[in-house]
């Protein structure tokens, strides 16, 4: 179950380090903690949002962390400075390439299902229900954000 009105979940590396008596730097890059946050959020049907990146002058470090967070399943990132907003928007918005891939997968898979097939080859790659759902997620997000 989840609390009414909760739509997203995140964590604070410094807050977590304080609560367990650890070091902030350790929890900034902790893959296990990040995986738990993403998994718990998805299990409860809420959006996982990655933590703050403290060094507001390190734009490339922020970009790398956004890319990693997206690859782990986070749908966004907390920002603490206006300079971080364009990078976060760029990384977490689906690219045209991703949208085009998703459209091809959805079209091909839905056609295959109508023909009684469950897995197909598309441009030399296996496409099955999991790929279809991944593609649908990209298109749903793109539609929600007006892309």
| Catalytic residue IDs | 128
Handedness of CA 37, 15, 56, 30 (dihedral sign): negative
**What is the bridge-based pairing of β-strands 47-50 and 8-9?**
parallel
96, exposed or middle or buried, with CB in 10 Å at 0-12, 13-18, 19+?
A: exposed
Would you say 102 and 94 are in contact if contact means Cβ atoms under 8 Å apart?
A: yes
Give the distance, in angstroms, between the CA of residue 139 and the centroid of all CA atoms in the same chain: 13
């Amino acid at each position: 179950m989840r609390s009414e009105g909760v739509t997203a979940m995140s964590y604070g590396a410094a807050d977590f380090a304080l609560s367990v008596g650890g070091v902030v730097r350790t929890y900034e890059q902790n893959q296990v903690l990040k995986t738990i946050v993403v998994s718990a959020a998805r299990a409860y049907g809420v959006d996982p949002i990655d933590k703050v990146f403290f060094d507001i002058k390190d734009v490339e470090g922020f970009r790398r962390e956004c890319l990693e967070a997206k690859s782990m399943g986070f749908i966004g990132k907390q920002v603490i400075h206006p300079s971080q907003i364009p990078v976060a928007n760029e990384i977490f918005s689906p690219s045209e390439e991703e949208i085009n891939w998703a459209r091809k997968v959805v079209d091909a898979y839905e056609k295959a299902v109508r023909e009684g097939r469950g897995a197909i080859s598309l441009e030399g790659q296996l496409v099955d229900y999991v790929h279809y759902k991944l593609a649908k997620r990209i298109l749903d997000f793109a539609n929600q954000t007006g892309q």
